[in-house]
Amino acid sequence: MKILNVNQIREMDAATIQNEPISSYNLMERASLAFVKWYEERFDTKKSISVFCGKGNNGGDGLAISRILTGKGYHVRVFIIEYSKDASKDFQQNLEKVETLIQIKSIFEPNAMPDFVDDHIIIDALLGSGLSRPVSGLLEEIIKKINEAPGTIISVDIASGLYVDKSNEKSDTIIKPDHTVTFQLPKLAFMMPQNAVFTGDWHVVDIGLDKKFIEDSATPYYFTDQSAGDKLVKSREKFSHKGTFGHAFILAGSYGKIGAAVLSSRACAHSGAGLLTVHVPECGYEIMQISLPEAMISVDSNRNNITSFPDLESFSAIGIGPGIGQEPLTVRALDQLLEQIKVPLIIDADALNILSKHPDLLDKLPAKTILSPHPKEFQRLAGESVNEFDRLELARNFAEKYNVIICLKGAYTAVILTNGDVHFNSTGNAGMATGGSGDVLTGILTSLLAQKYTPENAAIFGVYQHGLAGDKAAEKKTKTAMIASDIIENLGW
Ligand SMILES: NC(=O)C1=CN([C@@H]2O[C@H](COP(=O)(O)OP(=O)(O)OC[C@H]3O[C@@H](n4cnc5c(N)ncnc54)[C@H](O)[C@@H]3O)[C@@H](O)[C@H]2O)[C@@H](O)CC1
Ligand SMILES: [K+]
């Protein structure tokens, strides 16, 4: 699924109105019906509803939603916040239809806000994608009161006060919804962890906007939903043999961190690689043999750290980093590996930290190497950023400059390709914020590269499957109890 910017969203509405053709009033009606359909599936008529409307088209949606819900037997109160004399045409038209049906209260000052009882729904239709400046004055006061009110807040299209595609300031006043029901496409703002409290659980509803316009729109931003994820699977042919699926090679572990080698190797083996060799320091030999009899073990001459590696000729992809530490001899081994490697590579964890401390190594990275930093590792690698939009730009520039693919890990992990395209991941959950889950991703990615997935597809698909396995693990064990091994247990496609 594509993610479009605010201008494209406006053009997409206009293109739909012109090409379908449909009147803007009827398009608003269709959007409101889609919202109500979502609402009806979750809430019964027992809960009373207060709808807060601004005076643009988001407010117009609020009015249409109020009318449709009332017609379905819901108890709805409507409040119009009179922060401006101007109102949009479709707002006005909807107002005329609603006025005859429901009593409307106009709010001119904050103290006129109603008192709320507990089990109550607030629908936020104050401002939508038309937001052009931080909210202030009456609107700001109203938003603060709504955020303090008990009950469930549902934002129409986007939380009022939140920008669609750029960063808000920390001081901005924004609705904190429990749910956002957004029209047609997810918004860039939803992908940023900094906005988690301003999106709640968000849901995309189809309002039939111009498919061709969306297809033809150029954007660097994509969302890997299920249909995008499913398209990337390579099927396993009947007459294949283990050679078909490549020979993965993982360098991982140091004294006290052999677990990282175990986790990444097990994840690799469970992701379809034909053969797997794992290189560990001597202290990891028995642990590895016992933990993963399916793998071949290559043993370093050093007891506690990786200081060398075997001939690379037979390997089809290499993953390095989990638990390797940053000893000088390990740095030298990484340097030598970069000199010799001729197959796809994934670099993670301590190997990334080594790159941060030895930036000269960055120039030696083969084209389309995958780097999988979490935010702290990325910061060490590329420097500070003022907010997450800024960090994303930094990552896009970094990916283009060094010709690498970056998996910036977190909620909605961003997979950034060498051309600056960003694929946000839809799967995964907070239960995966647990030791070793990054090692599991390294194993999956190494495995996919060995199976000749392109580095781009390996990164997008690997991140997607890692999250999906995490979701299955959380379902079975809960987010609290799940550990990285549970992610491995739930791999499979
Ligand atoms: N255009 C269309 O065809 C459709 C639009 N839809 C709705 O329309 C919304 C966008 O509507 P609008 O473009 O009218 O914009 P909004 O309803 O978001 O905002 C209304 C107006 O408020 C003003 N404004 C911006 N920031 C403000 C601030 N901080 N304080 C006070 N006033 C401010 C602007 O002049 C803006 O035009 C979408 O979010 C969606 O809810 C839907 O009905 C679907 C179809
Ligand atoms: K809103």
The more confidently predicted of residues 169 and 244 is: 169
Looking at the DSSP assignment, which residues form a beta bridge with residue 81? 107
Tokens 């991140």 -> residue: 463
Alpha helix positions (H), 403-483: 437-450, 455-477
Average pLDDT taken over every residue of the chain: 97
Ligand 1: atom nearest CA of 64 is 43
| Residue 227 host element (H or E) | helix 226-231
Q: Looking at residue 491, what is its pLDDT?
A: 98
Alpha helix positions (H), 20-156: 24-40, 57-71, 89-99, 137-148
- Residue whose CA lies nearest to ligand 1 atom number 5: 57
207 alpha carbon, distance to own chain's centre: 23
| Residue 382 host element (H or E) | helix 375-382
Tell me, what amino acid is at 466? H
Q: Looking at residue 77, what is its pLDDT?
A: 96
| Pocket-forming residues, ligand 1, beta carbon under 6 Å | 13, 24, 27-28, 31, 54, 56-59, 61, 83-84, 88, 127-135, 139, 156-157, 183
Q: State the ligand closest to the CA atom of 131.
A: 1
Closest by CA to 30, choosing from 9, 54, 13, 48, is: 13
- Say yes or no to pLDDT of 239 above 90: no
Closest by CA to 81, choosing from 169, 1, 161, is: 161
Q: What band does 236 get if pLDDT is binned at 50, 70 and 90?
A: confident
Nearest-5° Cα angle at 56, 163 to 215: 60
Distance 483 CA to ligand 2 centre (A): 37
For the record, the structure tokens of 38 come out as 């979502």
Q: At what angle do helices 437-450 and 455-477 cross, to 10 degrees?
A: 140
Backbone angles phi, psi at 395, to 5 degrees: -65, -40
Mutation test residue for ligand 1: of 65, 66, 132, the one with most atoms within 8 Å of CB: 132
- Say yes or no to pLDDT of 117 above 80: no
Q: Looking at residue 116, what is its pLDDT?
A: 80
- Residue whose CA lies nearest to ligand 1 atom number 36: 130
Tell me, what amino acid is at 17? I
For the record, the structure tokens of 89 come out as 């045409």
DSSP, res 76? E
Q: Looking at residue 119, what is its pLDDT?
A: 79
Query: Could you read off the pLDDT of 303-326 as tens digits, one per residue?
Result: 999 999 999 999 999 999 999 999
Give the count of beta carbons closer than 10 Å to the beta carbon of residue 432.
Answer: 28
Q: Are 56 and 92 in contact (CB under 8 A)?
A: no
Q: Are 245 and 265 in contact (CB under 8 A)?
A: no
Query: Could you read off the pLDDT of 460-477 as tens digits, one per residue?
Result: 999 999 999 999 999 999
Closest by CA to 175, choosing from 188, 158, 193, is: 158
Tell me, what amino acid is at 407? C
Backbone angles phi, psi at 320, to 5 degrees: -135, 140
Distance 60 CA to ligand 1 centre (A): 9
- Say yes or no to pLDDT of 240 above 90: no
- Say yes or no to pLDDT of 447 above 90: yes
Q: State the ligand closest to the CA atom of 187.
A: 1
Closest by CA to 459, choosing from 158, 229, 119, is: 229
Q: Looking at residue 238, what is its pLDDT?
A: 79
Give the count of beta carbons closer than 10 Å to the beta carbon of residue 218.
Answer: 7
Sort strands 317-320 and 345-347 into parallel, antiparallel or unpaired.
parallel
Query: Could you read off the pLDDT of 128-180 as tens digits, one per residue?
Result: 999 999 999 999 999 999 999 999 999 999 999 999 999 999 999 999 999 99
Ligand 1: atom nearest CA of 31 is 44
CA torsion sign, 142 to 148 to 154 to 157?
positive
Query: Could you read off the pLDDT of 380-439 as tens digits, one per residue?
Result: 999 999 999 999 999 999 999 999 999 999 999 999 999 999 999 999 999 999 999 999
Edge-to-edge strand order for the sheet containing 48-53? 104-107, 76-81, 48-53, 120-125, 152-156, 179-183, 201-205
Query: Could you read off the pLDDT of 69-90 as tens digits, one per residue?
Result: 999 999 999 999 999 999 999 9
- Say yes or no to pLDDT of 262 above 80: yes
Give the three-state DSSP class for 151: coil
Closest by CA to 484, choosing from 260, 275, 333, is: 260
CA torsion sign, 253 to 320 to 231 to 422?
positive
Ligand 1: atom nearest CA of 183 is 44
Distance CA 438, CA 373 (A): 9
Distance CA 10, CA 128 (A): 11
Distance 126 CA to ligand 2 centre (A): 5
Q: What band does 118 get if pLDDT is binned at 50, 70 and 90?
A: confident
Query: Could you read off the pLDDT of 348-387 as tens digits, one per residue?
Result: 999 999 999 999 999 999 999 999 999 999 999 999 999 9
Q: Are 221 and 424 in contact (CB under 8 A)?
A: yes
Pick left, alpha or beta for residue 53 (phi over 0 → left; psi -120 to 50 → alpha; otherwise beta). beta
Distance 125 CA to ligand 1 centre (A): 9
Give the three-state DSSP class for 423: strand
Distance 132 CA to ligand 1 centre (A): 9
397 alpha carbon, distance to own chain's centre: 19
CA torsion sign, 264 to 266 to 268 to 271?
negative
| Residue 51 host element (H or E) | strand 48-53
Q: Looking at residue 428, what is its pLDDT?
A: 98
Q: Which domains, from first to last, does the chain contain?
A: 20-209 (3.40.50.10260), 230-489 (3.40.1190.20)
Give the three-state DSSP class for 483: coil
Backbone angles phi, psi at 38, to 5 degrees: -60, -45
Listed in sequence order, the residues at least 6 apart from 474 whose beta carbon sits closer than 8 Å to its beta carbon are 429, 431, 432, 482
Distance CA 250, CA 315 (A): 10
- Residue whose CA lies nearest to ligand 1 atom number 20: 56
Give the three-state DSSP class for 263: helix
128 is in an annotated binding site: yes
In the chain, what percentage of residues exceed pLDDT 90?
A: 96
Query: Could you read off the pLDDT of 320-353 as tens digits, one per residue?
Result: 999 999 999 999 999 999 999 999 999 999 999 9
376 is in an annotated binding site: no
> N- to C-terminal Cα distance for the chain?
21
